[in-house]
Amino acid sequence: MPTDNPQPLHTPFSAPLYIMAKPAGPSCNLACEYCYYLEKKDLFEPKQRPIMTDATLEQYIRTYIEAQTTNRVEFVWHGGEATLRPLSFFRRAMELQKQYAAGHDICNALQTNGTLLTPEWCRFLHDNNWLVGISIDGPQEFHDEYRRNPLGKPTFLNVMKGIRLLQQYNVEWNAMAVVNDYNADHPLEFYRFFKNIGCRYLQFTPIVERVKPDGRLATPLDNCGELTEMSVTPAQWGKFLCDLFDEWIKEDVGKVFVQIFDSTLANWAGVSPGLCTLDTNCGHAAVMEHNGDVYSCDHFVFPPYKLGNIHHDSVISMMGSERQLKFGTAKSATLPRQCRECRWLFACHGECPKNRFCITSDGESGLNYLCEGYRMFFTHVEPYMDYMKKELDAKRPPANVMQVLEQLKK
Ligand code: SF4
Ligand code: SF4
């Protein structure tokens, strides 16, 4: 039925609710140059040790499970660096999950820089089926450019040691790589490195950071800010995706899972993309600090986006609050006309609101900084995506596209 309101409905409880937890707050044993999270220390009392107490852990686990409307409940342990907490903390978390499971199917994921992993850690991760996301920015030269410890020393070899341990103990893992000014011009070197080290699940995040005159990173709320040199340019991002896609589509569909390609295909097929930046709205995934404070999104940990505290506010009341609803629907509701009329809107959705600080060709604010790169990418992949969507519609594997490309070569 036609409606006066073309905006999609935001239905916070129709999908699983996610609140990822930061058991060590913003603390980290590394000091990567582009890290947006180390500054979060300023949100807490200087004397407050940023660790999650047992009472906060229990309250979180109990109320988070109770709030879910789906059987599966996913816990994501994030940082800072979560492995700064001892294994006993995570063993206790699992005990509490069992205690409050009430028939739910519970799974855990850990996001880590991998440098503190030990055989004991890996045994725990394997025995309890945890999925591990490792932050690594490609081969040594690329990774070490920005991912350094507080003494300025490179960290690649330590991360690789962690990855080798995970592999030795058969822990399921994926790579989360940041694309920046330094590595963006080498997509194939980057991609082949991951394949060579046996990684089959890859996520890429483009670095887009602005710095204010006082030297602090600009927040999504700041109108001012100079782009940092390590940020990727829109053209670099577009070319990076196109070049990488060209290799993936020929050799690796169905073998290597690149999140942004899978999500793009999902949007082409009209199903949920899984990647929030390419989704219609935000608001399903919040974040909880070590002290129980809950914020709208990991990229919006600022006072105006605080939804409450796990000790005083229920998960349902926070995730279903007017504030979170508004945060979620703002993604589509605040799109400039250029996006609303863009032929790629179905695939792009204006990308992440944190990157919308540019002016459209007709002078409207709110255009995504990476727009040019996304237009380049979507235009480039259109024929392949069309083909794979047809295969999906016919209940055939999208990987058939590789045979077609092979035949065209002959
Ligand atoms: S603000 Fe950006 S990172 Fe946060 S949920 Fe929205 S798209 Fe995702
Ligand atoms: S490609 Fe550019 S104009 Fe189109 S929806 Fe994305 S950000 Fe907006």
Per-residue exposure over 392-406, b if at least 16 CB sit within 10 Å of its own CB, e if not = beeeeebebbbeebe
**Rounded to whole angstroms, how far apart are CA atoms 201 and 199?**
6
Ligand nearest to the CA of 378: 2
Using the atom order of ligand 2, give the atom closest to the CA of residue 335: 8
Of residues 44 and 329, the one with the higher pLDDT is 329
Is 298 catalytic? The answer is yes
pTM here is: 0.91
Share of the chain above pLDDT 70, in %: 93
Using the atom order of ligand 1, give the atom closest to the CA of residue 277: 7
- Residue 43 is predicted with a pLDDT of 63
- Residue 351 is predicted with a pLDDT of 98
Q: At what angle do helices 234-251 and 401-409 cross, to 10 degrees?
A: 90
- Strand 131-135's sheet: what is its strand order? 257-258, 201-206, 173-179, 131-135, 105-112, 72-77, 18-21, 285-288, 293-295, 306-309
- Average pLDDT of the chain, as a whole number: 91
Note whether 271 and 4 are within 8 A (CB): no
How far is the first Cα of the chain from the last one, in angstroms, to the nearest whole number?
49
User: Which residue, 133, 135, 261, is CA-closest to 207?
Assistant: 135
Query: What angle is formed at CA 77 by the lines to CA 105 and CA 169, rounded to 5 degrees?
Result: 80
What is the DSSP annotation of 224-239? --EEPTTSPPHHHHHH
Q: Whose CA is nearest to atom 5 of ligand 1?
A: 282
- Residue 339 is predicted with a pLDDT of 98
Note whether 77 and 24 are within 8 A (CB): no
Q: Whose CA is nearest to atom 8 of ligand 1?
A: 276
The CA 365 to ligand 2 mean position distance, Å, reads 13
Residues whose CB falls within 8 Å of the CB of residue 253, separated by 6 or more in sequence, listed in order: 388, 398, 399, 401, 402
**Rounded to whole angstroms, how far apart are CA atoms 143 and 183?**
8
The CA 280 to ligand 2 mean position distance, Å, reads 12
- Residue 9 is predicted with a pLDDT of 45
The answer, yes or no, to whether residue 324 has pLDDT greater than 70, is: yes
- Residue 47 is predicted with a pLDDT of 62
Ligand nearest to the CA of 353: 1
The CA 294 to ligand 2 mean position distance, Å, reads 30
Cis peptide before 198 (omega within 30 of 0): no
Q: How many helices (H) and strands (E) does the chain have?
A: 14, 14
**Rounded to whole angstroms, how far apart are CA atoms 119 and 124?**
9
User: What digits encode the pLDDT tens for the residues 124-134?
Assistant: 999 999 999 99
User: What digits encode the pLDDT tens for the residues 190-239?
Assistant: 999 999 999 999 999 999 999 888 888 888 788 888 999 999 999 999 99
The answer, yes or no, to whether residue 42 has pLDDT greater than 80, is: no
Catalytic residue among 144, 181, 185, 298: 298
Using the atom order of ligand 1, give the atom closest to the CA of residue 220: 1
285 sits in which H/E element: strand 285-288
Q: Is the CB of 18 under 6 A from ligand 2?
A: no
User: What digits encode the pLDDT tens for the residues 5-39?
Assistant: 344 444 545 567 899 999 998 888 888 777 755 55
User: Which residue, 115, 50, 39, is CA-closest to 288?
Assistant: 50
- Residue 106 is predicted with a pLDDT of 97
Q: SS3 of 183, please?
A: coil
The answer, yes or no, to whether residue 272 has pLDDT greater than 90, is: yes
The CA 356 to ligand 2 mean position distance, Å, reads 10
Query: What angle is formed at CA 248 by the lines to CA 400 and CA 274, rounded to 5 degrees?
Result: 85
The answer, yes or no, to whether residue 4 has pLDDT greater than 70, is: no
